[in-house]
């Protein structure tokens, strides 16, 4: 079974996890109507609901540093594409974490052509959701309403508006096929809850909104499961209630790193100390908290089994004395970091070139 996400920086091919979900390995979800036209719900036709919400959907363009395939070559800049949705008049945009997590620059484009720079303010890769803040409020904000995903039932009609293959504001339609836990995603997405939908896989919709027939956002497009990596895969969107709780209520730190949790045979091969679990750092965004703490990204592409990894970077073993290999270690670390005050020292225990080190830094005020 192959895992794919949806909004990819070009030339990226990395399976991600841990604190991020990298756009490179993933392919994008969009929902498609198969067969007869949808039956109107709530007194509005699909075309009417689409017109009502279309202007709230944005295209997201990113640039990030990437390791080229040639050994020893310097980092290159690659372009990425995804989708998102405006959720506040002052310029907050919901999207998928893997679209923006390690981006060097982010530009958001609206239906009317207005283009604004943006930055990540909160991100939770373990649920593949992120919140952007535009550099200034849009001229004519058309804000989408964040719905209650708990009211969504299997069989309900839903639709996605996004930018498949870069063609913006494309409508695709389907139904909710199921409600799933984190077991249907990568092993690192332990905080997620998904709405499964019949879906066509198309690059560029990643991070886009899944709407119900009232025009409420009930999910954020995340990933697919596919045997071939093609468009016959099953599509999944993170529920709006999970996005609301993690990003608008708990407000996690944006780390700016992309990594994957390693354990078992791979951890043994990399000589991890007991309890034998760590976060392999693969990419780091310039100016991010991860860079300020002195963490180092990977330098060498490798394929181990079915996984494409970037090796040579630090392996995070513990944060504030809490080991990632402890029972529920990730959640405990997350709670500790969220509760930390600006200026409070944070200590990270890492494995670098076979040696255990401690890095200490502070969160920005």
Cα(87)–Cα(312) distance, integer angstroms: 39
| Active-site residue, from 12, 16, 123, 128 | 128
Task: Report the alpha-carbon distance of residue 32 to residue 18 in Å, rounded.
Answer: 30
Q: Tell me how long the chain is.
A: 365
- Measure the CA–CA gap between 356 and 354, rounded to whole angstroms: 7
Active site residue 25: no
The active-site residue out of 16, 83, 177, 206 is 206
Query: Is 83 in the active site?
Result: no
Query: 102 near 283, Cβ under 8 Å?
Result: yes
């958001």: which residue's tokens? 108
Distance of CA 60 to the CA centre of its chain: 13
Answer yes or no: are the C-beta atoms of 247 and 125 closer than 8 Å: no
Q: What Rg, from alpha-carbon coordinates, does the chain have? A: 20
Cis peptide preceding 339, ω within 30 of 0? no
DSSP letter for each residue of 159-204: EEEE-GGG--SEEEEEEEEEEE-GGGS-TT-TT--EEEE-EEE-TT
Residues near 328 by beta carbon (within 8 Å), at least 6 away in sequence: none
| Active site annotation includes 187 | no
Secondary structure element (H or E) that encloses residue 53, with its range: helix 46-53
Q: Indicate which residue of 16, 83, 98, 240 is catalytic.
A: 98
Give the residue numbers annotated as catalytic, written as ranges.
Answer: 98, 128, 206
């Amino acid at each position: 079974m192959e895992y794919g996400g949806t909004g990819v920086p070009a030339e990226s091919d990395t399976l991600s996890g841990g604190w991020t979900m990298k756009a490179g390995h993933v392919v994008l979800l969009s929902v498609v109507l198969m067969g007869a036209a949808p039956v109107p719900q709530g007194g509005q036709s699909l075309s009417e609901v689409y017109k009502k919400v279309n202007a709230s959907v944005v295209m997201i363009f990113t640039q990030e540093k990437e390791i080229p395939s040639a050994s020893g070559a310097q980092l290159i800049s690659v372009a990425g594409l995804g989708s998102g949705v405006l959720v506040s008049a002052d310029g907050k945009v919901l999207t998928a974490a893997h679209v923006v997590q390690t981006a060097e620059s982010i530009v958001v484009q609206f239906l009317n052509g207005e283009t604004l720079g943006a930055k990540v303010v909160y991100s939770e890769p373990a649920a593949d959701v992120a919140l952007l803040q535009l550099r200034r409020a849009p001229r004519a904000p058309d804000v989408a309403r964040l719905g209650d995903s708990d009211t969504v039932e299997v069989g309900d009609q839903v639709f996605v508006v996004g930018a498949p293959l870069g063609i913006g504001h494309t409508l695709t339609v389907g139904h909710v096929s199921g409600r799933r836990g984190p077991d249907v995603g990568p092993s690192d997405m332990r905080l997620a809850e998904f709405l499964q939908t019949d879906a066509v896989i198309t690059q560029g919709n990643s991070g886009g909104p899944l709407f119900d027939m009232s025009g409420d956002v009930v999910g954020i497009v995340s990933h697919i499961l596919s045997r071939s990596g093609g468009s016959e895969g099953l599509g999944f969107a993170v529920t709006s209630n999970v996005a609301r709780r993690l990003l608008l209520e708990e407000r996690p730190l944006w780390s700016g790193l992309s990594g994957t949790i390693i354990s078992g045979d791979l951890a043994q091969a990399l000589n991890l100390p007991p309890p034998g679990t760590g976060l392999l750092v693969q990419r780091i965004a310039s100016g991010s908290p991860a860079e300020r703490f002195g963490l180092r990204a990977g330098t060498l592409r490798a394929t181990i089994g079915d996984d494409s990894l970037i090796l040579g970077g630090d392996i995070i073993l513990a944060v504030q004395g809490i080991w990632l290999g402890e029972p529920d270690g990730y959640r405990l670390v997350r709670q500790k970091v969220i509760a930390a005050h600006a200026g409070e020292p944070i200590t990270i225990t890492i494995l670098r070139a076979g040696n255990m080190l401690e890095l200490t830094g502070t969160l920005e005020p």
